Structure 1
Amino acid sequence: MKAVVATAPGPDRVALLDVEEVTCRPGHVVVQVAAVGICGSEIHTQQGDVSWDMAYPVTLGHEFSGVVVEAGPGVTSFAVGDRVVSETAAEVDAASEWARTGAYNLDPHRRGFGARADGGMAERVVVPERCLHRLPDNVSFKQGALTEPACVAYQATCVRTEIRPGDAVAVVGAGTIGLLSAWLATRNGAGPVVVVGLPGDAWRAPTMRAMGPIRFAASVEEARAALERPGRPGADAVIDAAGASEALHTALELARPLGQVTKVGWGPQPYAHSLDPLVAKQLTLRGSFSHTWAVWERVLTLLADGAGEVVERMVGWEGTLDDWATGFALQAEGAVIKGMLLPRSCPAG
Structure 2
Amino acid sequence: MAAGYPSSIPTTMKAAVVEEFGKPLVVKTVPVPEPGHGQVLVKVIASGVCHTDLHVRDGDWHVKPKLPIIPGHEGAGIVVKLGPGVTTLKIGDRVGHAWLHDSCGGCDYCLAGWETVCGNQHQTGFLANGCFAEYTIAEASYVGRIPSNVSFSQSAPILCAGVTTYKALKETEAKPGQWVAIIGACGGLGHVGCQYAKAMGLKVCAVDFGADKKTYAIDTLKCDAYVDIKDKKGEEIVAAVKEACDGQGAHGSVILAPVPAAFRQGVDMLRPMGTAVGISLPPGDFPVDIFSLILHRKTVRGSIVGTRKDLNECLSICADGKVACTVEERKLEDINQIFDDMVHGKIKGRCVLRIAPDE
Q: Helix, strand or coil for the counterpart of 2:125?
A: coil
Amino acid at match of 2:296: K
Corresponding residue of 1:168:
179
Q: CA deviation at 1:227?
A: 4.3
Pairwise mapping of residues 1-349 of structure 1 onto structure 2 (< 5 A)? 1-9=13-21, 11-148=22-159, 149-158=161-170, 160-174=171-185, 175-191=187-203, 193-199=204-210, 202-209=211-218, 210-219=220-229, 221=236, 224-225=239-240, 227-228=242-243, 232-271=247-286, 275-307=290-322, 310-312=323-325, 314-315=326-327, 317-336=328-347, 337-343=349-355, 346-348=356-358
Helix, strand or coil at the partner of 1:323:
helix
Per-residue CA deviation, residues 114-166 of structure 1 (Å, 9 max, x unaligned), is: 111100110100111101232111100011102222111111102x1211133
2:59 and 2:65 in contact (8 A); partners too: no
Q: Normalization by structure 2: what TM-score? A: 0.86
Contact 1:153 1:177 in 2 (8 A): yes
Deviations for 1:301-335, whole angstroms, at most 9, x for unmatched residues? 1111113xx432x22x2111111122222222111
Q: Secondary structure at the match of 1:146?
A: helix
Give ranges in structure 1 of 5+ residues lacking alignment: none
Per the alignment, do residues 51 and 276 of structure 1 end up closer, same or farther by CA in structure 2, a change over 3 Å counting?
farther
Q: Which region of structure 1 is more displaced relative to structure 2, 26-35 or 51-60?
A: 51-60
RMSD across aligned positions (CA): 2.2
* Structure 2 SS opposite 1:286: strand
Q: Secondary structure at the match of 2:343?
A: helix
3-state SS of paired residue (2:324): helix
Query: SS of the residue aligned with 1:228?
Result: helix
TM-score (norm 1): 0.89
Percent identity of equivalent pairs: 27
Q: Is the 8 A contact 1:12 1:48 kept in 2?
A: no
Structure 1 distance, partners of 2:99, 2:53, is 14
CA distance in 2 between counterparts of 1:222 and 1:261 reads 15
Cα distance between partner residues in 2 of 1:230 and 1:106: 32
- Distance verdict in 2 for CA 1:259–1:121, change over 3 Å: same
Tell whether the 8 Å contact from 1:252 to 1:277 is kept in structure 2 after alignment. Answer: no
The alpha carbon displacement at 1:268 in A equals 1.8
* 1:41–1:50 CA contact under 8 A, matched in 2: no
> Per the alignment, do residues 107 and 8 of structure 1 end up closer, same or farther by CA in structure 2, a change over 3 Å counting?
farther
How far does residue 25 in structure 1 lie from its aligned partner after superposition? 1.5
From the superposition, tell whether residues 330 and 204 of structure 1 become closer, same or farther in structure 2 (CA, over 3 Å): farther
**Unpaired runs of at least 5, structure 2:** 1-12
In structure 2, what is the Cα distance between the partners aligned to 1:91 and 1:74? 16
Amino acid at match of 2:222: G
Shift in CA distance, 266/214, structure 1 to aligned 2, threshold 3 Å: farther
Query: What letter corresponds to residue 330 of structure 2 in structure 1?
Result: G
CA distance in 2, matches of 1:239, 1:231: 18
Q: Please tell me the residue identity of whatever aligns with 1:237.
A: G
